[in-house]
Structure 1
Amino acid sequence: MNSAIRSVHARQLVDCKCRPMVEVDIITEDGFLGRGCAPTGSSVGMFESCVLRDGNPEEYHGMSVHKAVDNVNNIIGPALIGKDVHDQKAIDEIMIELDGTPEKKNLGGNAIYSTSIAAIRAAAECEGMPLYNYIAKGPVKTVPVPSFNVVNGGHYADLTQPFNEYIIMPYGAGTIEKAVEMGINTFQELERVLTKYLGHKPEVAPSYGYAAPSEDPEVILDLMSEAIENCGYSGKIAFALDCASSEMYDRHNDTYLLKGSRVNSRQLIEYAKHLTEKYNFVFIEDLLDEEDWNSYPKAHEAITRTNLLGDDFIVTNMERLKRAYELNALDGFILKPNQVGTITEALQTYDFAMEHGLLATPSGRSGGVIGDIVMDLAVGLQIGFIKNGAPRSGERIDKLNFLMRAADLNEGCKLADISSMLKF
């Protein structure tokens, strides 16, 4: 078998939010195809790998990615011809060296990441197996518990809800099929509960959950609790929260928005602690600003009834995760490979987490894609729970179907037992 790279070709497509993205094909000498594309997020950390866009207002309002495509076709591709797709580390290191910047600003993180995905997918194709089996080096025994982003915060006409995502997780399901059903049933019941509360149907938010009906987090959590109870799932579904607090942080006066008022980090930590004592949370993500290194250890010490995870705070960067670990600032991180820009670097961060008893929680991006590699990583790495998004749009439904399909195709594969990860 000749698994050397014969050709590398990139093109511009669009993601689920109709924003241009890079897609890359790698074909080996024996004709095996690996294809990768780079999703983008709405809540984007300042230390994420660069998404290189053209800035031409005449095309997609400046969002086109022809420069990144050209960088793949004219710079990255020629440098990778003849390299073995099984040597992921070498391929990624070539691209990192070609770019020469920590944030991959020259060639574009979207160009490099799409190529990195294409390489590992081509390697799996050479071996004749699904990518998650290639990552696991054989059959998988579990699939992760999915979570569902059901209410979305942000700025609306009549209110601002500072917390970004209100999430449900069916930790008490016995099978992946039941977990998916519980999430969907609760999401659909929540529409009825919100309609009754609002007097009209809830608005669909940009991330496809329901628009937040209140500035008060407890009002939202109570409505979610009502939907869970109506479905008969009390004691089997818990909450999670993505605060994305950098989005609502004011650096000039060092305050955060909460229920229409500005509060300091100590007050926000106290409020989050109160929430975890009133409700069962699997995790709280990005409680504080991505540069609030002083307050995260205080939050971790104070809040003991849930897992504190870092997303914008860590950006899947091993050095940032190492610093957070040394400060005892977190219980884990959100695994988004496109944040750091290559599969190799993402797996290095994952390995550090596993070696130091930290959680790694894969997540898609709001500008998602069908066939997102984070699902292969989640299943292949045998992770306990993941973030799936709202059960409404195609690329999010694809993630749920992926889990059920993987469980069916791997004999004896079960839903992960996450009881040891819960703190409530």
Structure 2
Amino acid sequence: MEDKIVSVRAQQIIDCKCRPAVEVEIRTESGAIGRGAAPTGTSVGMHESFVLRDDDSSTYKGLSVHKAVDIAVNVIGPALTGMNVFDQRAIDEKMIALDGTPDKRRLGGNTIYSVSIAAFRAAADARSIPLYNHIANGDIRTVPVPCFNVINGGRYDKLTQAFNEFLIVPYGTDSVDFSIEMAVAVFQKLADVLADYLGHKPHTASSYGYAAPSDDPEIVLTLMQKAIDECGYTGRIAFALDCASSEMYDKETGTYLLKGKRVSSDELIAYAKFLTERFNLVFIEDLLDENDWTGYSNAVRELGRTLVLGDDLTVTNLELLQKAHEMRAVDGFILKPNQVGTITEAMDAYRFAEEHGMIAVPSGRSGGVVDDVVMDFSVGLRVPFQKNGAPRSGERIEKLNFLMRANARIPGCRLYDISPLLRF
């Protein structure tokens, strides 16, 4: 198939945290249109592709992306005009060559990725099919189990909860609609459970979950279990953690923060093992620092009751995934295409993982937009589960509606059965 790119337009928009983002629109000869915008994370790994911003303090506190918009239109646009929109690899490789830096610093990873998404969507539009069908090259039979970040760690006035995300995984059903209903019920019940524990209503955290009520992960998980039990979903909802430990790592001493104290890599792994023996955890993500390769290999060896996933460690990067496989450092990785900066590179990382028995878990970013391409990845790649954020705020709710729509469109489509992957 061939359909040539005829125009590349761009503008500045804002994400769900009101931070500027570059949005790109590509049109083809046949009249197909694709639009793309790169999300950004709050926790950004040092190995991720570079986010190009204007650094002009007079507008959006320096976060504007007018340089990126200009590059998309005047540098990338002319280079892609006339190219076949169905040749995603050629489009992405042309941009990588134009940039010429290891981390996409010259043109901006956010610029390149936004163009990459726009081309991907235009190709699906030219075929008049949903993007997830374009990715799957056919129909889907399952949709992934959504994982919900219901309690958010981080630094608060009176405490610091070292673990970044406490998630619920509603897997004990074959219906995505009921999976989402369970999660919403537990999230709402959790407000009451936390209010009883705190003596006041829980605060909403920056990622839209509830602010952590304690610096002790065990207490947090116990309160979450209470909400699950009170809803009558015991045994149907498990947990997951995103520790984001690079945020709490001290390079000087080589230690991590845990419950107000500094601990070694081995002590943190031992504590995680204790949690996996006490609670049913589907996965633990970013347990250690993004450069603690030895620690990750130890964690995979020690943590037999859960999956160890890399995010800041692997950043959806093929070379880092290859290293992780060689060192047996992870059981899988968080798939965030914007980390590496093009659709092609993200797909290459996914294929390597799949061929080598590693699980890929697509995830949105905290600074998301409504039509996040990661949802098409989740459904089109037929992955077991994905990260959705808290069931609150428009772009996160839209992800859930996306799953329900995709499921309803295909007769006989079911929620993915993750039970063979569970280690508890």
- How far has the Cα of 1:295 moved from its partner? 1.0
**Whole-angstrom distance in 2 between the partners of 1:80 and 1:182:** 46
Identity %: 64
**Secondary structure, counterpart of 1:361 in structure 2:** strand
**Whole-angstrom distance in 2 between the partners of 1:173 and 1:342:** 35
**Secondary structure, counterpart of 2:53 in structure 1:** coil
Gap regions ≥5 residues in structure 2: none
Q: Which amino acid aligns with 1:387?
A: K
Within 5 Å, give how 1:253-292 maps onto structure 2: 253-292=253-292
CA shift digits 1:344-379 (9 cap, x unpaired) = 000000000000000000000000110100000100
- How far has the Cα of 1:12 moved from its partner? 0.4
- How far has the Cα of 1:298 moved from its partner? 0.7
CA shift digits 1:385-404 (9 cap, x unpaired) = 00000000000000000000
**Whole-angstrom distance in 2 between the partners of 1:365 and 1:35:** 18
Within 5 Å, give how 1:16-415 maps onto structure 2: 16-415=16-415
**Whole-angstrom distance in 2 between the partners of 1:63 and 1:318:** 29
Q: Which amino acid aligns with 1:350?
A: Y
With 1-10 and 25-34 compared, the bigger mean Cα shift is at: 1-10
**Whole-angstrom distance in 2 between the partners of 1:402 and 1:102:** 34
With 165-174 and 1-10 compared, the bigger mean Cα shift is at: 1-10
Q: Which amino acid aligns with 1:147?
A: C
**Secondary structure, counterpart of 1:365 in structure 2:** coil
Q: Is the CA contact 1:2–1:28 (under 8 Å) kept in the aligned structure 2?
A: no
- TM-score in terms of structure 2 length: 0.99
CA shift digits 1:194-215 (9 cap, x unpaired) = 0010011000000000000000
**Whole-angstrom distance in 2 between the partners of 1:77 and 1:183:** 43
**Secondary structure, counterpart of 1:386 in structure 2:** strand
**Whole-angstrom distance in 2 between the partners of 1:343 and 1:102:** 16
**Whole-angstrom distance in 1 between the partners of 2:314 and 2:18:** 27
Q: Is the CA contact 1:254–1:264 (under 8 Å) kept in the aligned structure 2?
A: yes
Q: Which amino acid aligns with 2:72?
A: V
Q: Which amino acid aligns with 1:148?
A: F
- How far has the Cα of 1:420 moved from its partner? 1.1
**Secondary structure, counterpart of 1:3 in structure 2:** coil
- How far has the Cα of 1:54 moved from its partner? 0.6
Q: Which amino acid aligns with 1:256?
A: Y
- How far has the Cα of 1:2 moved from its partner? 5.8
Q: Which amino acid aligns with 1:97?
A: A
Q: Which amino acid aligns with 2:274?
A: H
Q: Is the CA contact 1:14–1:21 (under 8 Å) kept in the aligned structure 2?
A: yes
**Secondary structure, counterpart of 1:218 in structure 2:** helix
Q: Is the CA contact 1:151–1:209 (under 8 Å) kept in the aligned structure 2?
A: yes
**Whole-angstrom distance in 2 between the partners of 1:326 and 1:233:** 39
**Whole-angstrom distance in 2 between the partners of 1:214 and 1:46:** 28
**Whole-angstrom distance in 2 between the partners of 1:379 and 1:217:** 32
Q: Is the CA contact 1:2–1:29 (under 8 Å) kept in the aligned structure 2?
A: no
**Secondary structure, counterpart of 2:30 in structure 1:** coil
**Secondary structure, counterpart of 1:191 in structure 2:** helix
**Whole-angstrom distance in 2 between the partners of 1:173 and 1:23:** 37
**Secondary structure, counterpart of 1:294 in structure 2:** helix
Number of aligned residue pairs: give it: 424
CA shift digits 1:271-325 (9 cap, x unpaired) = 0000001100000000000000111101110111000000111000010011011
CA shift digits 1:182-241 (9 cap, x unpaired) = 000000000000001001100000000000000000110000000000000110000000
- TM-score in terms of structure 1 length: 0.99
- How far has the Cα of 1:174 moved from its partner? 2.3
**Whole-angstrom distance in 2 between the partners of 1:372 and 1:264:** 37
Q: Is the CA contact 2:174–2:416 (under 8 Å) kept in the aligned structure 1?
A: no
Q: Which residue of 1 aligns with 2:417?
A: 417
Q: Is the CA contact 1:142–1:416 (under 8 Å) kept in the aligned structure 2?
A: yes
Q: Is the CA contact 2:147–2:388 (under 8 Å) kept in the aligned structure 1?
A: yes
**Whole-angstrom distance in 1 between the partners of 2:129 and 2:177:** 23
Q: Which residue of 2 aligns with 1:8?
A: 8
- How far has the Cα of 1:102 moved from its partner? 1.3
RMSD: 0.7
